[in-house]
Amino acid sequence: MDVWKAAAERARTHGDVLSLAAGQPSTPAPAPVLRATKTAIDAELFGYTETFGILALRRAIAGHHHRSYGYPVDPDDVVVTTGSSGAFTLIFLAAFDPGDTVVVARPGYPAYRNTLTALGCRVVELDCRAETRFQPTVAMLEELPRPPKGLIVASPANPTGTMIDPDELAAVAGWCDAHGTLLISDEIYHGITYGGERTASAWETSRSGVVIGSVSKYFSMTGWRLGWMLAPPELRPALQRLASNMTVCPPAISQYAALHAFGDEARTELDAHVHRYAVNRAILLEGLAGLGITDLAPADGAFYAYADIGHLTADSMAWCADVLANTGVALAPGLDFDIVNGHRTIRLSFAGATAEIEAALTRLGDYLRRT
């Protein structure tokens, strides 16, 4: 958020910002979603809905999971939330008590750690490195002094873009079942992958855990603030009570709009975005290599490149600030994602326009030649 604020100020004063920092698509919601929204504004009341979301949307999400992964989902399994952020907060409150241990990967999405800490949980970070594609493994879990109350996995992951192997995900899910650990599988970047690897879902192996989804990333609807979780029956009463008190219901207009995000017309448009991401990814990875930035996490999915720039700086926050001040290129320092080694890493998003990726590389090249 500090980077975004600085980039906005740079844009106001110079008008030359190229942002490779934002973790969101640069495209609007799909055309059928926008059309349906305009119709719904005239036709719907937009009062409170059911706390877990309107039935039609829960059916659409259930069908989406069945088509994508082959497992059946009942609409009652689906809990619609105010963004995936709302889903994480609800499940953390429903499943964990203050003092419970929850394990996350490092590097990883900082909101897991920050939200759990704010709720009084003990967060244990697994030091995930290139040899495991920056993903947790059963071997790592076996090294813990005792089984944790919860484990969060993300595939594709933010910030690395790496994916967990389907067999390893199944093994992790089995380990969690055997040790009474709640597996929370963050699957919000599903649909954005490269190279043909299959993206596995945790519910293919076990329904004891929780799957988190969202219309933000693949579906290009970040600001609509709509997510969901697939939750086992024993957790739903607590989730219902918490959600009805905290938010009453997810945004009604977003629910009616999102109904139309799962159809063929929307998917054709969204898959075209993924094709552009793939083009941008190739340009960025080749361009970074040409600049001598070669220590990168495998960008299997999502729209990020995560780079070690330890040969350039020992302070990624200051380095990114200097790059922004001198070039107008906004980058995300790694410190949020990795509080141990993030001082030497950066995250670059390639979700923007291809021309902006190319221009940013040119500016970075000029900057590196001057410094």
Question: pLDDT digits over 341-352, tens only?
Answer: 999 999 999 999
Contacts of 147 (CB under 8 A, 6+ apart): 141, 179, 180, 181
- Rounded to two decimals, what is the model's pTM? 0.96
Q: Quote the radius of gyration of the chain (alpha carbons, Å).
A: 20
pLDDT higher than 80, residue 1: no
Confidence of residue 360 (pLDDT cuts 50, 70, 90): very high
Q: pLDDT at position 196, please?
A: 83
Please calculate the CA angle 332-337-341 and round it to the nearest 5 degrees: 100
Q: In the predicted model, is pLDDT for residue 312 greater than 80?
A: yes
Asked if the peptide bond before residue 250 counts as cis, ω within 30 degrees of 0, the response is no
Those residues whose C-beta lies under 8 Å from the C-beta of residue 135, and which sit 6 or more positions away, are: 105, 128, 153, 155, 157, 162, 163, 164, 165, 168
**Sequence-ordered list of residues with C-beta below 8 angstroms from that of 370, at least 6 positions apart, any chain:** none
pLDDT at 295: 97
Q: What is the rounded CA–CA span in Å between residue 90 and residue 246?
A: 9
Query: With contact defined as beta carbons under 8 Å apart, do 180 and 163 qualify?
Result: no
Q: CA 39: distance to chain centroid? A: 30
How many whole angstroms separate alpha carbon 306 and alpha carbon 347?
5
Residue 3 has pLDDT above 90, yes or no: no
What's the Cα-to-Cα distance from 366 to each of 28, 291, 322, 349, 371, rounded to whole Å?
A: 32, 10, 13, 20, 9
- Stretch (H or E) spanning 359: helix 354-370
- Residue 197: per-residue pLDDT: 79
CB 60 within 8 A of CB 259: yes
Confidence at 286, pLDDT banded by 50, 70, 90: very high
Could you give the residue ranges of the DSSP H alpha helices within 137-235? 138-142, 166-179
- Phi first, then psi: give them for residue 25, nearest 5 degrees: -60, 155
The pLDDT score that the predictor gives to residue 2 is 81
Mean pLDDT of the residues in the chain: 97
Q: What secondary structure letter does DSSP report for 301? A: B
Sign for the pseudo-dihedral over CA of 66, 70, 72, 78:
negative
Q: What is the largest CA-CA distance in the chain?
A: 60
Contacts of residue 344, defined as CB under 8 A and 6 or more positions apart, other chains included, come to 308, 309, 310, 313, 314, 316, 334
d(CA 288, CA 305): 10
CB 220 within 8 A of CB 27: yes
